Amino acid sequence: MSELDELYQSIILDHNKRPRHYGALTDATHQAEGYNPLCGDKVQVYLKIHDNRIEDLRFEAASCAICKASASMMAQELQGKTLEEAAQRGKRVQLLLSEETVASDSDGDLVSLQGVRKFPARIKCATLPWHTFEDAVGSTCKP
Spell out the per-residue pLDDT of the chain, length 143, in tens: 566 567 667 788 888 899 999 999 999 999 999 999 988 999 999 999 999 999 999 999 999 999 999 999 999 999 999 999 999 999 999 888 887 766 676 777 887 788 888 888 889 999 999 999 999 998 776 54
Report pLDDT for 38. Answer: 87
112 falls within a domain:
yes
Range of the domain at 77: 3-136
The bridge status of strand 42-50 relative to strand 53-62 is antiparallel
Residue 56: inside a domain: yes
Whether 52 contacts 73, CB under 8 Å: no
Tell me the whole-structure pTM to 2 decimals.
Answer: 0.89
- The number of beta carbons lying within 10 Å of the beta carbon of residue 7 is 13
Q: What's the structural domain count of the chain?
A: 1
User: Is residue 143 a part of any domain in this protein?
Assistant: no
Q: Between the CA of residue 46 and those of 21, 119, 131, 141, what are the distances in Å?
A: 10, 28, 13, 9
Assigned domain for 53 exists: yes
Contact between 114 and 9 under an 8 Å Cβ cutoff? The reply is: no
**Single-letter residue type at 117:** R
